[in-house]
Each structure stands twice: as C-alpha cells, then as structure tokens.
Amino acid sequence: MKVVSLASGSAGNAYCVESEGCVLLIDCGLSCRELLKRSRVAGIDLGSVVAAVFTHSHDDHIKGVAKFHDCFPEAGLFANAMTADSIAATAGVDEMDFSIFENGQDFEVGPFDIKPFAIPHDTSDPVGFLVADGDCRYFHATDIGTPLESIGENLSEADIATLESNHDAVLLRKSGRHPSLIQRIAGPRGHLSNDQACDLVRRFASPRLRKLALAHLSRDCNVPHVAEDAMRTTLCEIGRTDIDLKVLCQDEIVEI
C-alpha cells in the first residue's frame, strides 16, 4: 500500500491510497488541474482512481469534485447520505452520481475494504476512514473536534495513520482571531490541537502502527516543528521511537 498526501490544510485537501494498480482518492479539495499536476509529480495515475471517498462537505475537501467527475467519470463517488446531499447542493454534482455508504458499515471498492466511522465536526455527518488492503490498514481522520474513544479504537487497528494536529493551543489564543472563531476551532466540533492528537496516539497507538503523519496544520495557529516536537516527545514517552513520523503541508507532496 502506498499513501500520498497531495495537499493537507485549510486551503485544500487530497490524499491518495494506491494498491494493486488501483487508486483511492480521499477528498478532492484541489482544482482538477492542480490535482493532475501534483499526482503526476507523485507518480500517481488519476486514470487508475477507482473511487473518490469524502470525509465531509466543507469546501477545502470538495471544491474540485465536479471537474474531477467530468474528467474521470469512471471513478465512483462515495459519501454518506447527508454528505452527498450537501456536496450536491454546493459543488455542482448530481446527488444521483454518488454511491451512498452507511457509517460503521464496511464497503469494498477495487482492492480496498473501507470502513467509514463518525467524527465530531461542524458539518453534516463527517467521517474518517479505515482502509484495508489485505493485511495492511490505513487510518485517516482530520477535522476532528473531540478525540473520541471510538476514533482511537480505529486508530489502534492501523499500520499507517494520518491524524489531524491542527493547532497549538497557545498560538490559537494569541492568533488575534475573533473570539468566536477561536471558540469554534477549539470547541467539541472544531479541530484537534497538538496536545489532543498526542493524547490519542499515547492511548491508542498499537504495536502494529509503523507510520504516522500529522495533518491539516493551521498556517496561523501552528508551526510544523512545534507539532512534530510534541508528537516526538509523546512517542518517546510510550517507547515508540520506531514510528516513522511526518508532518504534512499545504503545498508539499508527501509520501506517507
């Protein structure tokens, strides 16, 4: 299994999981032109995309879906009912073009077995994914307001994980943002802080976890080395310095 972040952050998100010559696209928050450009650099053929699955309907995760669907109509679009309805209403895609999944119910596309699980965020029925390819499992969860036990339980099954580490609590308070926005970001349906991400890993990283990527970092309220240092300290505390840790960026292609 190959996992690549094409973009990670509040300006756009797109991730690819590749196996057996097939590609699974998680979110499509880049223009189709930019998606094509970055996928070529990453050595990924978008013509091999068997499905695009969507975590939720915020613009930074869906804004390229209409053009992508026009260019690659053979790639299925998958979302739960509320997310599909919301994407159809805002992104110019017919709701009938979606295959609907149920949260908590596995479904198969190509070589991938995909389990969507609920996460708390301020939009309609957001999810994370646990993607299996034979014995390898990939955990993907960003835009998480609260580090729920159920999210950690899915993390505990992963060999490879992408986990939100959006903001540093101190930098968020000092950001100069409107108090209501600070409250939203730090609230139970906002985004995970570095400390909350560390706590999830501390409690739920299993011996099988080998690679971990920190995702959706705020440009204004976080610094990559701050997020990385916090997580490396945590990995040292739990005796897991063997885990390959990476920090994902908005404008950098990263093979996880």
Banded pLDDT at 243 (limits 50, 70, 90)? very high
Q: Is the pTM of this model over 0.85?
A: yes
> Is residue 220 exposed (0-12), middle (13-18) or buried (19+ Cβ within 10 Å)?
exposed
163 vs 33, 113, 116, 123, 130, CA distance in Å? 26, 20, 15, 19, 12
Give the whole-angstrom CA distance, residue 139 versus residue 160: 6
Tens digits of residue pLDDT in 49-65: 999 999 999 999 999 99
pLDDT at res. 227: 98
pLDDT at res. 44: 96
Is residue 64 within 8 A of residue 29, CB to CB? The reply is yes
197 vs 102, 131, 158, CA distance in Å? 26, 20, 15
- Among 141-145, 187-191, 237-241, the least confident range: 187-191
Query: How many domains does the chain contain in total?
Result: 1
**Structural domain of residue 221, as residue ranges?**
2-255
- Residue with the two structure tokens 């992104």: 91
Type of residue numbered 96: M
pLDDT at res. 135: 87
pLDDT at res. 209: 98
pLDDT at residue 30 greater than cutoff 90: yes
CATH assignment at residue 25: 3.60.15.10
